[in-house]
Amino acid sequence: MHRAMWGGKLGGTWLDDSCLSGEKCDDDSFGGGIFTGYEFSRHIAVELGYDYLGKFTGGGLDDKTVTAVTVAPKFNLPLTEDFSAYIKAGMGFVNFGDGDDASFLGAVGGEYMILPNLGLRLEYQRLTDMSNDFVRAKGNLLTLGLSYKFGQESEPHQPLIVKPAPKPEKVMVAPAPVPVPAEKEKPAEPKMYKKSLSGTNTFATDSATLTSTESLQEVVDILSRYPQAKVMITGYTDSRGAEAYNQQLSERRAKSVSQFLMSKGIEAERISAKGMGEADPVATNDTAQGREKNRRVEIQIPVFEYQ
């Protein structure tokens, strides 16, 4: 996933260690900011921002406006399908009246994706060094903001691969060399039906909703034709993200396939579905191609007898 973003935020601001004893001091205000950035993956991004901290009086500031330009990498920790916690650590370049200073910047926050491309974020940000001839103050911002992310990640579609079972060979009985009563043909033995189906169905970004069902039609046809057949559905993910979250995602994807089969008239007692999370990878998770193969839903129809 590679995509650009932009957003804005509003909230309260205040200064620490900005007031001198015996002087008038106003060290809190209303502020906000705008920001832009780029996501390199679901876990790492970089952001550039412009913050307005407000007007302050005290510590050499005489109703002066304080602003800052900030740049910092952003590290995300996905906790659910739609919510991530994050931290930022970088630099801020602060301007206050006629002075300016470079400062360390740190921030913590949480972001909830209310739409696939629109996020709501709550953030606390601190600038540790705003120095002049009188004080060495620290700036704080607590804001609520919106972020818009361009583009969308989707897992590539791969067709469901069906391996047909080999047809049983017919046994030919040679005729007797002399005229004898014909032997009665033995009753045909029950036939065994076996198919191993595997592949990857298409899902939207971090979603268990099927975007294509064409590859499942053959499975529906087999189960409808042979009511004695049963089906086993197993969901998998790659190794990106938290292990517990990947386990839940694999279970939801397997359940999505089972619900589709039931919507086509297949009885629930003939279907078993489970998720295995990151287990049993079929390829390495160190490359994009390998992770693509590991994001899959495997379907198996166990051996059954039919005449």
Question: What local confidence, expressed as pLDDT, does residue 61 receive?
Answer: 62
Chain CA centroid to CA 224, Å:
35
Assigned domain for 284 exists: yes
289 versus 63: the higher-pLDDT residue is 289
Q: Which domain holds residue 198?
A: 161-165+189-306
CB atoms within 10 A of CB 273: 22
Instruction: For residue 235, report the phi and psi dihedrals to the nearest 5 degrees.
Output: -100, 145
State the DSSP code for 224. Answer: H
Assigned domain for 261 exists: yes
Q: Are 206 and 247 in contact (CB under 8 A)?
A: no
Instruction: Write the DSSP string, 141-186.
Output: EEEEEEEEE-S--BPPP-PPEEEPPPPPPPPPPPPPSS--PPPPPP
- The pLDDT tens digits for 192-221 are 544 444 445 556 557 777 777 787 888 899
Q: What is the CA radius of gyration of the chain?
A: 32
- The pLDDT tens digits for 265-289 are 999 999 999 999 889 999 998 888 8
CATH number at residue 52: 2.40.160.20
Question: What local confidence, expressed as pLDDT, does residue 87 receive?
Answer: 98
Question: What local confidence, expressed as pLDDT, does residue 195 receive?
Answer: 46
Tokens 């040679």 -> residue: 174
Q: Are 9 and 35 in contact (CB under 8 A)?
A: yes
- Considering the domain architecture, whether residues 86 and 143 belong to the same structural domain is answered as yes
Tell me what the pLDDT averaged over the chain comes to: 82
- Considering the domain architecture, whether residues 200 and 126 belong to the same structural domain is answered as no
Question: Where among 149, 179, 207 does a domain terminate?
Answer: 149
- The pLDDT tens digits for 133-149 are 555 778 899 999 999 99
- Considering the domain architecture, whether residues 118 and 211 belong to the same structural domain is answered as no
- Considering the domain architecture, whether residues 134 and 219 belong to the same structural domain is answered as no
Q: Does the pTM of the predicted model rise above 0.75?
A: no
- Considering the domain architecture, whether residues 193 and 143 belong to the same structural domain is answered as no
Assigned domain for 171 exists: no
Instruction: Find the distance separating the first CA and the last CA of the chain, reported in whole Å.
Output: 51
Question: What local confidence, expressed as pLDDT, does residue 288 receive?
Answer: 83
Mean pLDDT to the nearest integer, 163-176: 66
Amino acid 290 reads G
Q: DSSP 3-state assignment of 261?
A: helix
> Which is nearest to 298 in space by CA: 221, 215, 226?
215
- Considering the domain architecture, whether residues 28 and 100 belong to the same structural domain is answered as yes
- Considering the domain architecture, whether residues 78 and 205 belong to the same structural domain is answered as no
- Considering the domain architecture, whether residues 199 and 62 belong to the same structural domain is answered as no
- The pLDDT tens digits for 218-275 are 889 989 999 888 999 999 988 888 888 889 888 998 998 899 999 989 999 999 999 9
Helix (H) or strand (E) holding 188: none
Question: Where among 149, 178, 209 does a domain terminate?
Answer: 149
- Band of residue 73 on the pLDDT scale cut at 50, 70, 90: very high
Question: What local confidence, expressed as pLDDT, does residue 154 receive?
Answer: 47
Question: What local confidence, expressed as pLDDT, does residue 171 receive?
Answer: 63
- Considering the domain architecture, whether residues 112 and 236 belong to the same structural domain is answered as no
- Number of domains, the chain: 2
Assigned domain for 173 exists: no
Mean pLDDT to the nearest integer, 8-17: 90
- Band of residue 132 on the pLDDT scale cut at 50, 70, 90: low
Amino acid 121 reads R
Q: DSSP 3-state assignment of 287?
A: coil
